[in-house]
Structure 1
Amino acid sequence: MAWDVLNVIGTIAFAMSGAVVALEVKYDIIGAYVLGLITAFGGGAIRNLFTGIPIIDLWQQSSLFIVAFITISIVILLPNNSVALLTKWSIFDSIGLSAFSVQGAMYAHSIDLPLFAVVFSAAITGAGGGIIRDVLAQKRPIVLRQDVYLLWAVFAGFIIGLDFLSKSYQFYILFIITFILRHISHRFSWSLPTRSIQKQKEE
């Protein structure tokens, strides 16, 4: 039950996030649907590829595709001022990351993959769609350059991979904790250490 609920939550959040970004960069309606669907399903598709699950399984989620299509349609039909307001929020990314990180880790754990694979599944399911979205929107992926983003997906995967959780309510609690951590880190602009290489000027 928890797996299905988190799947729906993540799909709605990332479909909305992708559609908002598409409108922000002035893509047309088709572009909004493409970006919304890729954001919602891209991470799961990559996870399936790396964990040996047939990609064709992705197309068995008809109900989720309908949910994503409706969500994107709502975003497209919103007034411009409402869409502009949505672009200022990171809440959809936070919700999508948290839901899909937990859901991806649950999936990998359920088929008895090792700890590293569970953590990887959490990270790629939670962040993969957003990375593809940013690349297609001609942006540098936010997950790789700022905010403590991917770390929270790794955190969720690690907790599940160590087999600490077994009850549905525990997975919901982990989802909420991951969401809160991600939202706080964005709110207060937490970031991981970075290093840049300065090119020396030729004399």
Structure 2
Amino acid sequence: MAWEVFSFIGTVAFAISGALIAIEEKYDIFGVYILGMVTAFGGGAVRNVLIGIPVSVLWDQNFLFIVATISISLIFFFSKNVLTHWNRWGTYFDAIGLAAFAIQGAMLAVNMNLSLFAVMVAAVLTGAGGGVIRDLLAGRRPLIFKKDIYAVWAGTAGLIVGLGLYKFDWALYVLLIVTTTMRILSYSLQWRLPQGR
């Protein structure tokens, strides 16, 4: 059950995030749907390739494609009210998608009995991959390469899942809230990672 919930939450959050950026960049309706879909499914597709799951599995997610389409449509047709608060809402949706997909990716890797390192990589790729593809297609520098803390939270969530530091599914929802909160706080309070000289 938790797997489906995190897949749903991540898909909605990243589809909306991609659509918002596409609208902000003045994409037409086709471009909005493409960027929304790529953001929602891109990270999972890259993860699947690296951990040996056939890419074709992506096309079996009919329900999630419908969910993404509805989410993007709502944003496209009601975007005027949302875009005035982009900096706040865009960050929120991106943080939720990062957290949900990081946990989902880690759960998949654990179920495949992969190593702890592979679990953390799967978490980062799933959580941050869609956002990286989104930003590259929108001509922006990906958040993962900026100095504010972003993918670290996905990796931390993956570490917690990989170590099995939870007994019940509700603990994973707590992890979702904590990871989302930490990402928002790191953005709002401008926490930074050390930079090279």
Tell me the TM-score normalised to structure 2 length: 0.96
Contact (CA 8 Å) 1:6, 1:103: kept in 2 or not?
yes
Residue 34 of structure 1 is matched in structure 2 by 34
Equivalent position amino acid for 1:140 in 2: R
Contact (CA 8 Å) 1:17, 1:39: kept in 2 or not?
yes
Residue 187 of structure 1, CA deviation: 1.0
Residue 176 of structure 1, CA deviation: 1.1
| Identical counterparts, % of pairs | 49
State the Cα RMSD in Å: 1.1
Answering whether residue 136 of structure 2 is matched by residue 106 of structure 1, we say no
Equivalent position amino acid for 1:179 in 2: T
Residue 146 of structure 1, CA deviation: 3.0
Whichever structure has more helix as a proportion of its residues is 2
Residue 126 of structure 1 is matched in structure 2 by 127
Q: What runs of 5+ residues in structure 1 fail to find an aligned partner? A: 197-203
Question: What is the number of equivalent residue pairs in this alignment?
Answer: 196
SS at match of 2:93: helix
Measured in 2, the distance between the counterparts of 1:48 and 1:166 equals: 26
Residue 79 of structure 1, CA deviation: 4.6
Residue 166 of structure 1, CA deviation: 3.8
Equivalent position amino acid for 2:31 in 1: G
Residue 98 of structure 2 is matched in structure 1 by 97
After superposition, the C-alpha distances for 1:41-65 in whole angstroms (9 at most, x for unaligned) are 0000001000000110010000000
Residue 161 of structure 1, CA deviation: 1.0
Residue 8 of structure 1 is matched in structure 2 by 8
Residue 138 of structure 1 is matched in structure 2 by 139
Moved >4 Å (runs of 4+)? none
Distance of aligned partners of 1:80 and 1:60 in 2 relative to their CA distance in 1, 3 Å threshold: same
Residue 59 of structure 2 is matched in structure 1 by 59
